[in-house]
Chain A
Amino acid sequence: MSATGKAYIAGAFEHPTRYASTKSIADLHFECAQGALADAGLTFADVDGYFCAGDVPGASPAWLADYMNLRLRHLDGTEAGGCSYLLHIAHAAEAIAANKCSVALITLSGKPRSLGVATGTAVRQIPPERPDAPWEIAYQPTIVAVNAMFAKRHMYEFGTTREQLAWIKVAASHHAQHNEHALLRNVVTVEDVLNSPVIADPLHRLDCCVITDGGGALVVTRPEIAKSLKRPLVRIAGCGETVKTQTGGYIDLTRTGAAASGAAAFAEAGVKPADVKYASVYDNFTIMVLIQLEDLGFCEHGKGGCFVADGNLISGVGKLPWNTDGGGLCNNHPANRGGMTKAIEAVRQLRGEAHPAVQVRNCDLALASGPGLVMGTGQNHATVILERE
């Protein structure tokens, strides 16, 4: 049995706020931790492992561990951008299997909305010592323009259309209408997406995710503890993580790290894409969803446009219910990091706790997957496969 098969997600909490000007980032971390522990039926005294990423003040577990006054015997501050929390699920499972901790807490929070951060459209700051900095910074790369280049290349190679990309936003909006906490709850049409302003050709405003304050937390624990709690059992069945490098310049902008992280997670879980009842796939931009769905094996390479069209991602309508909370495109993208909320909605689906209008029937196998950090054509990537027991 693999290390990851021996741990469960016992607690999950998404902070209801989308604008938190009166709270500190550290306070939001605390509130998320409190929410996830309460959800699990555990307390701070039970926590002996803490996992966090670059969004914590000080970029180290130290400051938040001190702030919350945790008593730890295992800590992990792996920073991999937006997918960090999916990696943390894997790392927590490994640590639990190795008997390094019993109750692992994973937190995320941030306030880009109230702080007025122009996340996608501002030129990315690159510290001069980073090895790629001299070769990129002068060209004013923005996150949205880099993703737009993924889209442009996919359109060139496979004939993918703007309308097909727009269907991804349409699906997210159909789900978000049922989420009382979602930032954007209006159902939109393909025409609405195409009529929204062009941000970076070919991506329009509605191809881009929201910017929100907030956060979330997860509690991962060992089987004995999970089974002693009153919550449905969500087992961590398989995990994969990678860095897709820029390959010394021999690039492919039609693929992501999902090909590697997905394959590893499916192999470890012993399942295949067709078995997955619900998928959370990180949607910082519509194109990123399309390419990841191909890379994860939900459809053939190059066929993502046809796959996402005509409502195929809408729960109760299409073949692959996806981001039923409204995702980053409509619901929430706290701290500009989507991995946490992807895992949380997958847990809701497996527990049968998603909104009744979007709940997938007999949802016993779910996937959460996403990229992290933009490095030109490369990125970190992580995938987890969760199973209802």
Chain B
Amino acid sequence: MSEATLDFESDPYVANHPQTRPFWAAAAHGQFLLPRCNSCERVHWYPRPFCPLCKSQSVDWVPASGHGVVYSFSVMRKAEQPYVLAYVQLAEGPAMMTNIVDAEFDSIHVGQPVKVAFRRAETGRSVPVFTPI
């Protein structure tokens, strides 16, 4: 077992949601998975072991393209270390809350193409963030 695997195993945000384990295992290796419904064929976010759109329990993890566009964002200026909170609309359909990283604050705009990257959360798991293409 690699060190990265051990890190996410002890993360309370993983431990409390055992069915999301495959997502974090892939994320630890820089792979972005999305939950896709075999019944209505739609991808949803955030991941559940059932489809919130049609309630089917036939949902598989599929590799994401890692591409999306900025749906909306805000530079949290009041923070000690300002950062960018955003919703990115994924190429697969749904939008997700995330951070835009490695970007000039003033260059970020709605509709901007972005691609996925991973960043370690304090508690151990690697979370998907996005960076301008």
Residues of A within 8 A of B (CB): 121, 128-129, 131-142, 144-146, 148-150, 152-153, 156, 197-203, 247-251, 253, 376-377
Instruction: Known A138-B127, A153-B72; judge A376-B97 contact (CB<8 A).
Output: yes
Q: Is the CB of B16 within 8 A of A377?
A: no
Query: Which chain B residue shows the least CB distance to A149?
Result: B72
Q: Which residues of B have CB within 8 Å of A202? A: 74
Q: Is the CB of B110 within 8 A of A139?
A: no
Q: Is the CB of A139 within 8 A of B97?
A: yes
Give the shortest distance, in Å, between A287 (CB) and chain B (any CB): 11
Please tell me if B61 contacts chain A, counting CB pairs below 8 Å: no
Q: Is the CB of A248 within 8 A of B97?
A: no
Please tell me if B116 contacts chain A, counting CB pairs below 8 Å: no
Please tell me if B33 contacts chain A, counting CB pairs below 8 Å: no
Q: Which residues of B have CB within 8 Å of A134? A: 13-14, 16-17, 20, 46, 125
Please tell me if B75 contacts chain A, counting CB pairs below 8 Å: yes
Task: For the complex, give the distance between the alpha carbons of A145 and B129 in Å.
Answer: 17
Give the shortest distance, in Å, between A213 (CB) and chain B (any CB): 22
Instruction: Known A129-B16, A145-B74, A152-B72; judge A135-B46 contact (CB<8 A).
Output: yes
Among B51, B74, B76, chain A packs the most CB atoms within 10 A around the CB of: B74
Q: Is the CB of B77 within 8 A of A199?
A: yes
Please tell me if B25 contacts chain A, counting CB pairs below 8 Å: no
Task: For the complex, give the distance between the alpha carbons of A250 and B42 in Å.
Answer: 11
Q: Which of A131, A200, A248 contacts B17 (CB 8 A)?
A: A131
15 contacts between A and B (CB under 8 A): A121-B79, A132-B46, A134-B13, A134-B16, A135-B47, A138-B13, A138-B121, A138-B125, A138-B127, A144-B78, A148-B74, A249-B43, A249-B44, A249-B90, A251-B87
Q: Which of B13, B75, B127 contacts A128 (CB 8 A)?
A: B13
Q: Is the CB of A149 within 8 A of B77?
A: no
Q: Which residues of B have CB within 8 Å of A129? A: 16
Q: Which residues of B have CB within 8 Å of A140? A: 76, 79, 83, 85, 99
Query: Which chain A residue shows the least CB distance to B92?
Result: A249
Task: For the complex, give the distance between the alpha carbons of A156 and B72 in Å.
Answer: 9
Give the shortest distance, in Å, between B38 (CB) and chain A (any CB): 15
Instruction: Known A134-B14, A139-B98, A139-B127; judge A149-B46 contact (CB<8 A).
Output: no
Give the shortest distance, in Å, between A147 (CB) and chain B (any CB): 8
Task: For the complex, give the distance between the alpha carbons of A248 and B54 in Å.
Answer: 10
Please tell me if B12 contacts chain A, counting CB pairs below 8 Å: yes
Q: Is the CB of A145 within 8 A of B76?
A: yes
Give the shortest distance, in Å, between B120 (CB) and chain A (any CB): 9
Q: Which residues of B have CB within 8 Å of A144? A: 76, 78
Please tell me if B95 contacts chain A, counting CB pairs below 8 Å: yes
Task: For the complex, give the distance between the alpha carbons of A329 and B50 in Å.
Answer: 41
Q: Which residues of B have CB within 8 Å of A142? A: 76, 79, 85
Q: Which residues of B have CB within 8 Å of A200? A: 74-78, 85
Query: Which chain B residue shows the least CB distance to A151?
Result: B74
Instruction: Known A139-B127, A250-B94; judge A201-B75 contact (CB<8 A).
Output: yes
Q: Is the CB of B96 within 8 A of A249?
A: yes
Q: Which residues of A have CB within 8 Å of B85? A: 139-142, 145-146, 148-149, 200
The 3 closest A-B pairs by CB, nearest first: A249-B94, A249-B45, A148-B74
Given A132-B46, A133-B16, A138-B125, 15 more pairs with CB closer than 8 A: A131-B46, A135-B45, A135-B97, A138-B121, A148-B74, A149-B72, A152-B73, A153-B71, A199-B78, A200-B74, A200-B85, A201-B77, A249-B44, A249-B90, A250-B95
Task: For the complex, give the distance between the alpha carbons of A203 and B73 in Å.
Answer: 12
Task: For the complex, give the distance between the alpha carbons of A351 and B17 in Å.
Answer: 52
Query: Which chain B residue shows the least CB distance to A134?
Result: B13
Which residues of chain B from 68 to 108 have any CB-CB distance to chain A below 8 Å in the complex?
71-79, 83, 85-87, 90, 93-99
Task: For the complex, give the distance between the alpha carbons of A317 and B14 in Å.
Answer: 55
Task: For the complex, give the distance between the alpha carbons of A251 and B96 in Å.
Answer: 9
Task: For the complex, give the distance between the alpha carbons of A15 and B42 in Å.
Answer: 50
Task: For the complex, give the distance between the alpha carbons of A259 and B44 in Å.
Answer: 24
Please tell me if B29 contacts chain A, counting CB pairs below 8 Å: no
Q: Which residues of A have CB within 8 Å of B20? A: 134
Please tell me if B53 contacts chain A, counting CB pairs below 8 Å: yes
Q: Which residues of A have CB within 8 Å of B46? A: 131-132, 134-136, 249
Give the shortest distance, in Å, between A144 (CB) and chain B (any CB): 7
Instruction: Known A131-B17, A138-B121, A138-B127; judge A253-B71 contact (CB<8 A).
Output: yes
Q: Which residues of B have CB within 8 Å of A149? A: 72-74, 85-87
Please tell me if B52 contacts chain A, counting CB pairs below 8 Å: yes
Instruction: Known A135-B96, A141-B97; judge A198-B77 contact (CB<8 A).
Output: yes
